[in-house]
Amino acid sequence: MNWLILYRMSYEDNSGFHRIELDGSKIAVTFDEIHDLRRDILLYFDENIGETISIFLLPSGFNKPYWKFISIGFTQEWAESTRYQMLIEEGCLALLNGIALDLLDYPILTIPKKWQESNLEIIFSYIDHYNPKTERLRLAKSYLLETYSFIKDATTNDFDKHGMLLSFNPAEAGRWFDKEIVQAYYQRQIEFGNQYNP
């Protein structure tokens, strides 16, 4: 084994980050996973800031199991641990809202099979088991549980003949996620940068 491979394995294995599985076990999260998630989250934020309902998700992107990372934590603190943990947790919550909004754009009978079968139940389970540490994030969890519960149980009676929602309005949750997660992220970045450039 050459030194580069050994260094890379050591680097990944010692990120200090973990996520909590449904059975309560801790699963190590590598730096590569952190950076992949960060890239998706920042792209999502950039494409959707100010949007509450008409979310843009690249059809070929946003395909990671974001629901598994809302429980991210760390045991070994690095200089950026708290900021990365906050970005991943909150960003994955926002992405889950975006995915839900995207699914609600489909006429109910044409929601892709992969979502109809097990993914919605799995996502719902991870959201339900998520243990937010603040009242703000408890509200995010509540919005997501309400939205995914509706999607799981929706029938054609919940939509008009044009595929528009009749019995559920995701706009309030959309506004909350935009203001409290997406816009708040950029505000924190500005404040963080201003610390070093008064």
Q: Which of 181, 189, 187 is nearest to 88 (CA)?
A: 181
Per-residue pLDDT tens over the stretch 81-126: 889 999 999 999 999 999 999 888 765 555 555 555 558 889 999 9
Per-residue pLDDT tens over the stretch 33-70: 999 999 999 999 999 999 988 888 876 677 889 999 99
Domain around 89: 3-196
Q: How confident is the model at residue 198 (pLDDT cuts 50, 70, 90)?
A: low
Average pLDDT of the segment spanning 17-31: 94
- DSSP letter string, 28-78: EE-HHHHHHHHHHHHHHHHHHTT-SS-----TTS--S-GGGGTT-EESS--
pTM: 0.86
| Residue 156 contacts residue 109 (beta carbons within 8 Å) | yes
As for how many domains the chain has, the answer is 1
Q: Edge-to-edge, what's the strand order for the sheet holding 73-74?
A: 26-29, 17-20, 73-74
